[in-house]
């Protein structure tokens, strides 16, 4: 793991609505240039976390505790005008729905150029030239013609490429991609993720990939944070999570995902589902996963188990698996 100060450091983040607390004591760090995946099912609070980093939470949601630091600078304390300069220039975000995230009455070229004119102060001709370069960079075919097209003339994958071009126009340090491929065909998904990965390397950005799809984690992410009902339940290197999941939720999630890798015993036989739903986590005093957990202990229902480091960089919030993992470690004499 990198020892340098992280690019983005989110610590003890708690977000509350008047009706509930969708994100509790959540935290993660993103190092310069790495890809961190935040994985969780719908309603686990991952999109809210992303919006909190951008300070774009809906008015009803409030950050009640925690810190969000970009290169050591507390984003929560930043005045709104300065935060506006951070958005788009230092952190950019791509949304789930490429079909509705572009303005329907403006040409795609106009929309990309607008970002450049705002943040880089470019003149209209310079912005247009740069826009065509950007469209070429995100592999939009025939950028000279596409630049004057309205969004409705483009396919979903093309639109997501345009969104990516807008996001990387000012070379942000961090790109947040909130389910960037969920609305796209499977074949387009891989292309878009490839593109994001290439841009990350070429432009030296870090990528915060928010997804519910464990399948894309192994190939595209360096590290993974697994989120359940607003809490961090497991954190590890991407390969470790897939090969050796520790938290019962992560195990259930993997067992419920179709995998091509036949060496894993989870793929044998029909896919298993996790009984119950995430709604059962509401109002739980203990571990949010306890109502659905086959290994739940009486103590799990009283207090949420603390995140324990079983190895450097490997965190799990589960007393049962932590104990067995530690036992394994002891057995092999590490």
Which positions touch other proteins (CB under 8 A)?
54, 56, 81, 84-89, 92-93, 95, 97, 100-107, 114-115, 118-119, 150, 152, 163, 166-167
Q: What are phi and psi of 186, to 5 degrees?
A: -60, -40
Q: How many CB atoms lie within 10 A of CB 202?
A: 10
CB of 150 vs other proteins, minimal distance in Å: 5
CB of 54 vs other proteins, minimal distance in Å: 6
User: Which CA distances in Å does 207 have to 118, 176, 301, 333?
Assistant: 23, 6, 35, 37
* Residue 228: Cβ-neighbour burial (10 angstroms; 0-12, 13-18, 19+): buried
CB of 261 vs other proteins, minimal distance in Å: 35
CB of 296 vs other proteins, minimal distance in Å: 38
Contacts of residue 46, Cβ cutoff 8 Å, sequence gap at least 6: 38, 39, 40, 178, 210, 212, 227
Angle at 68 between CA 66 and CA 161, to 5 degrees: 135
CB of 83 vs other proteins, minimal distance in Å: 8
Cβ nearer to other proteins, comparing 111 with 257: 111
Phi-psi region for residue 329, left (φ > 0), alpha (ψ -120 to 50) or beta? Answer: alpha
Cβ nearer to other proteins, comparing 85 with 303: 85
User: Which 3 state secondary structure label does DSSP give 15?
Assistant: strand
CB of 84 vs other proteins, minimal distance in Å: 4
Cβ nearer to other proteins, comparing 103 with 182: 103
CB of 122 vs other proteins, minimal distance in Å: 14
The candidate with the shortest Cα–Cα distance to 162, out of 221, 107, 242, is 107
The candidate with the shortest Cα–Cα distance to 165, out of 125, 209, 196, is 196
Cβ nearer to other proteins, comparing 95 with 249: 95
Cβ nearer to other proteins, comparing 84 with 240: 84
CA dihedral 37, 42, 44, 49 (to 10 degrees): 60
Cβ nearer to other proteins, comparing 98 with 248: 98
Helix axes 156-168, 108-119, angle to 10 degrees: 10
CB of 87 vs other proteins, minimal distance in Å: 4
H helical segments located in 175-237:
186-203, 214-220
Instruction: Produce one character per residue of 130-146: b if its CB has 16 or more CB atoms within 10 Å, e if not.
Output: bbbebbebbbbeebeeb
Q: Taking a C-beta distance cutoff of 8 angstroms, is the pair 8, 208 a contact?
A: yes
Cβ nearer to other proteins, comparing 169 with 278: 169
Cβ nearer to other proteins, comparing 47 with 322: 47
CB of 93 vs other proteins, minimal distance in Å: 4
Cβ nearer to other proteins, comparing 93 with 224: 93
Q: What are phi and psi of 72, to 5 degrees?
A: 80, -10
């Amino acid at each position: 793991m990198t020892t340098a100060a992280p690019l983005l450091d989110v610590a003890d983040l708690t977000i509350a609505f008047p009706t509930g607390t969708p994100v509790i004591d959540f935290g993660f760090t993103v190092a310069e240039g790495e890809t961190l995946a935040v994985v969780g099912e719908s309603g686990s609070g991952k999109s809210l976390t992303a919006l909190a980093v951008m300070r774009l939470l809906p008015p009803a949601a409030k950050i009640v505790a925690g810190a969000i630091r970009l290169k050591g600078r507390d984003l929560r304390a930043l005045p709104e005008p300065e935060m506006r300069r951070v958005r788009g220039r230092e952190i950019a975000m791509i949304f789930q729905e490429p079909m509705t995230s572009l303005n329907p009455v403006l040409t795609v070229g106009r929309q990309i150029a607008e970002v450049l004119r705002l943040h880089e102060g470019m003149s209209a001709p310079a912005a247009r030239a740069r826009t065509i370069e950007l469209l070429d960079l995100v592999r939009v075919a025939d950028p000279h013609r596409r630049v004057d097209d309205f969004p409705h003339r483009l396919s979903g994958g093309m639109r997501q490429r345009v969104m990516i071009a807008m996001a990387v126009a000012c070379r942000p340090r961090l790109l947040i991609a909130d389910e960037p491929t969920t609305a796209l065909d499977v074949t387009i998904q891989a292309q878009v993720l490839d593109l994001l990965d290439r841009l990350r390397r070429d432009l030296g950005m870090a990528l915060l990939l928010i997804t519910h799809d464990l399948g894309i984690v192994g190939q595209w992410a360096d590290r993974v944070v697994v989120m359940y009902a607003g809490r961090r339940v497991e954190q590890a290197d991407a390969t470790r999570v897939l090969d050796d999941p520790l938290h019962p939720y992560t195990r259930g999630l993997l067992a419920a995902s179709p995998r091509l890798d036949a060496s894993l015993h989870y793929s044998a036989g029909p896919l298993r589902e996790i009984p119950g739903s995430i709604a059962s986590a509401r109002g739980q005093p203990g571990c949010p996963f306890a109502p659905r957990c086959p290994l739940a202990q009486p103590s799990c229902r009283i207090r949420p188990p603390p995140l324990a480091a079983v190895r450097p960089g490997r965190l799990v919030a589960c007393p049962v698996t932590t104990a067995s993992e530690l036992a394994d470690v002891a057995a092999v004499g590490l």
